Amino acid sequence: MAKRFEIRLAGSGGQGLVLGGVILAEAAAIYDGKFATQTQSYGPESRGGASKSEVVISDEEVDYPKATNPDVLLLFTEAAFQKYLPSTKNEAIVIVDEDLVQSKIPPNYKNVVVAPLTRIAKEGVGREFVANIVALGLIRELTNIVSEKSLETALLGRIPKGTEEMNKKALALGKEAAHKYGNQLLSKKA
């Protein structure tokens, strides 16, 4: 892996992006033995419900914990798209919830996955709010930044009792979505 790998999860409050970031960081550090940080930054825009959760994973101690040049950008609202895409490098993997973001990704972005993650969560397990977990499964499958086992273990350590099966299903749906909607990236990786 790269020395430093940055993931930015951007959307609105209530979409579980903070929890998603915590699970990813714990998977990397506690279970995969890497270094990781997970950061939320809040400013005046947070009042409008904007939410941003960032994870930095590294083989070395993470000096600067904010994502300055994300390798993965997850966009869960149109506002997040408008705010964060322009500063994101063209090589980044950009993941867009197709029902929540109206704008099209410009063609200079080559690693784009457009998938109905929230709809997948709703139709697959009956709960929109596990769209964050579907996204984690998809990000993992696309990047291999944490192991499958670590992600599942970290997930199970952070969710309410009684929701284990639903959450494991959501992870699996994310993996499936990576193959269905991001297959061009997986072939590239292979």
Q: Where do contacts with its own copies occur on this chain (CB under 8 A)?
A: 13, 18, 22, 25-26, 28-30, 33, 35-44, 46-47, 61-62, 64-66, 157, 160
Closest CA to 185 of 29, 27, 71, 85: 71
Which residues touch 80 (CB under 8 Å, ≥6 apart)?
10, 11, 12, 50, 52, 101
Closest CA to 135 of 165, 159, 167, 171: 171
Q: Which helix (H) or strand (E) holds 94?
A: strand 93-97
Nearer to its own copies, 25 or 112 (CB): 25
Q: What is the rounded distance in angstroms from the CA atom of residue 48 to the CA atom of residue 123? A: 28
Closest approach of its own copies to the CB of residue 127, in Å: 15
Burial 106-130 (b: 16+ CB within 10 A, else e): eeebebbbbbbbbbbbbebbeebeb
Nearer to its own copies, 43 or 86 (CB): 43
Nearer to its own copies, 66 or 180 (CB): 66
Closest approach of its own copies to the CB of residue 38, in Å: 5
Closest approach of its own copies to the CB of residue 43, in Å: 5
Nearer to its own copies, 37 or 111 (CB): 37
Closest approach of its own copies to the CB of residue 175, in Å: 24
**Distance separating the N- and C-terminal Cα atoms of the chain:** 14
Mode of pairing for the β-strands spanning 72-75 and 4-12 = parallel
Closest approach of its own copies to the CB of residue 30, in Å: 5
Nearer to its own copies, 61 or 165 (CB): 61
